Amino acid sequence: MHYKVIFPKVLFPVALVRVPSRCFSGSRRNNYQVTVIGGAGGIGQPLSMLLKINRMITKLHICDIAKFIPGVAVDLSHIETPSVVKGFKSPEQLGDALEGADIVIMPAGVPRKPGMTRDDLFKINAGLVKSIMEQIAASAPKALVAIITNPVNSVVPIACETMKKAGVLDPNRIFGVTTLDTVRANTFIAEAKGLNPYEVKVPVIGGHSGVTIIPLISRTTPKVSFNEEEIKKLTVRIQEAGSEVVEAKAGAGSATLSMAYAGVRFANSLLRGLSGEKNVIESAYVMSQVTSLPYFATPLVLGKCGIEKNLGLGELNCFEKNLLDKAISVLKKNIDAGIEFANLPECKKEHMS
């Protein structure tokens, strides 16, 4: 008798099933290594657990500054899937954790707390992202890097500038994970219309905070209809959903479980693209030329080398064009802050972080 646990295709492109080993065979590669930097945190632990049950992953490395990271690895290793889990203490073992990685997922950093702004987060997390990217440049320059660490709008430029200085920048391989904005948009609109969330798809472009998040409700699939006031309320809720979680947790944390889900969804899409699956589309915040800004989130076709094609902005209505104008002015400041930090002398960076 075979026991089956089937998960939605959007999250688990290869279902977790107890089957004979011959079912692992096939023309597509099915043995990827994923490294999670920040694997002991509120996002890192559930994210790592979900990655452990993806049969495309045979090696899962988790790294963190937390002393108990070996225990997290042992805990995960008891899950009945073939992937081998190893724990590494950062920063001293970060290079070993990265060696051989196909994908690096980075939820490392300080989460947002009540009253904390994205600027506050930037001062804390900017130096961390820079030091991690320096090690990625040295140990895994060809890995696809998915950055969850906030503020994404600013730290992705830091990541790219760091790789550029090391002479290994490939902009098709560095992603700011904005998938949670898409997940929230799908969920909220499905709830508003009584639809199955699995069947709702809302393109979300821009950035990953406040007014920089632009849900394109007019292009929702299946097509939905809202009046002007409803669209405004839904847009604001999607843009401010992170604060909704922070306030609801009353000082106990930020969006961790939903972010872990979104991070795994994006990682699985990267894996599907790497394996050769066609027409894998996810939005992400990347180095881009679709607007006047050097970074912007749009739907992307993912492939064996990361970004295969940037699908651009698409058609926007008047309301969405106004959102875009507001987003660009804020995003420019976020991006400039990241680039400026990346090019500061080391002593000033240390003072800021």
Catalytic residues: 208
Q: Is the peptide bond before 151 cis (omega within 30 degrees of 0)?
A: yes
193's CB contacts (< 8 A; 6+ apart) are: 224
**Of 198, 228, 231, 226, nearest in space to 214 by CA:** 231
β pairing state of 57-64 and 84-89: parallel
HSE-CB for 6 with a 13 A CA cutoff: 2
Q: Helices H, strands E: what count in the chain?
A: 11, 13
First to last CA, the chain: 56
The DSSP annotation for 138-153 comes to HH-TTSEEEE-SSPHH
Q: Which amino acid is at 258?
A: S
Q: What angle do CA 254, 8, 180 make, to 5 degrees?
A: 25
Nearest to 140 by CA among 116, 174, 115: 174
Provide the b/e sequence for 173-196 (b: ≥16 CB within 10 Å). Answer: bbbbbbbbbbbbbbbbbbeeeeee
Hey, what are 236's tokens? 């604001």
73 vs 192: CA distance, rounded Å: 40
Name the phi and psi angles at 295, rounded to 5: -135, 140
For residue 112, which of 162, 180, 63 has the smallest C-alpha distance?
A: 180
